[in-house]
Amino acid sequence: MIMMDSFIEEFGINKLGIGIREYKTALEIRANYTPIKLIDAFQLSIAINNRCDYFITNDKELKKYDQINVILLDEFKKNILLSDY
């Protein structure tokens, strides 16, 4: 847990919650992008509704979703020292 806390602090990551707006957006995502699992739709919804710049994941299927900049963790790790996306 200490490693996660230091990672969150170092990169200025915010922890976000789920409200009615996120529920509605998640349902819309799920309805329009059927390959996306409901749990992933909730995560995307939270990121979108909180105007996140990026969504970092290991799930290659989520790269197909075009409403937010989805970055694979491997891409993030490779490029974190080379650029600012």
- From residue 31, give the alpha-carbon distance in Å to each of 38, 41, 78: 10, 10, 33
| Burial of residue 36 (number of CB atoms within 10 Å: 0-12, 13-18, 19+) | buried
Grade residue 35 by pLDDT with cuts at 50, 70 and 90. confident
pTM of the model: 0.73
Grade residue 22 by pLDDT with cuts at 50, 70 and 90. very high
Q: Compute the 3-state secondary structure of the chain and give helix, strand, coil in percent, each to the nearest 5.
A: 55, 10, 35
pLDDT at 51: 92
Output the furthest CA–CA distance in the chain (Å, rounded). 38
- Nearest to 59, CA basis, from 70, 45, 47, 48: 70
Where are the chain's structural domains? Answer: 2-79
